[in-house]
């Protein structure tokens, strides 16, 4: 799995767990809905850390909690 897919999957799972639609996450995180949609649907394959931090704030978690999953621990090296 690549990093982009891991970020997208984690974001989708967190929204599902919190029963949070894209619009609600956008309102809570101050990230435009279009930016969130671009991440989830593959138009933005390199979301910045500041954007991810803002999304974490809207989800009520820290960056450490966002990235502390087996998916991120087992990522393959991007540069080969």
Distance CA 66, CA 14 (A): 9
In this predicted model, what pLDDT tens digit does every residue of 27-38 receive, in sequence order? 999 999 999 999
Interaxial angle between packed helices 3-17 and 49-59, expressed in degrees from 0 to 180 and rounded to the nearest 10 = 20
27 located within any domain:
yes
Q: At residue 2, does pLDDT exceed 90?
A: no
The DSSP call for residue 30 is: T
The burial of 23, by beta-carbon neighbours within 10 Å (0-12 exposed, 13-18 middle, 19 or more buried), is given as: exposed
Contact 22, 40 (CB under 8 A): yes
Residue 23 lies in a domain: yes
pTM score of the predicted model: 0.90
35 found inside a domain: yes
Domain count, the chain: 1
Does some domain include residue 79? no
Domain CATH for 41 = 1.10.260.40
Residue 59's domain comprises: 3-73
Taking all residues of the chain, what is their mean pLDDT, rounded to a whole number? Answer: 94
Checking if the pLDDT of 75 tops 80, the result is: yes
Q: Looking at the domain assignment, is residue 80 inside a domain?
A: no
Q: What is the pLDDT of residues 44-65, one digit of tens each?
A: 888 999 999 999 999 999 999 9
Residue 50 forms part of a structural domain? yes
Please report whether residue 78 resides in a domain.
no
């Amino acid at each position: 799995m690549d990093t982009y897919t891991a970020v997208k999957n984690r974001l989708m799972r967190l929204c599902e767990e919190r029963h949070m639609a894209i619009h609600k996450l956008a309102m809570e995180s101050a990230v435009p809905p279009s930016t969130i949609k671009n991440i989830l649907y593959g138009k933005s394959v390199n979301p910045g850390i500041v954007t991810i931090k803002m999304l974490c704030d809207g989800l009520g978690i820290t960056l450490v909690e966002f990235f502390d999953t087996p998916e991120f621990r087992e990522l393959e090296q991007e540069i080969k």
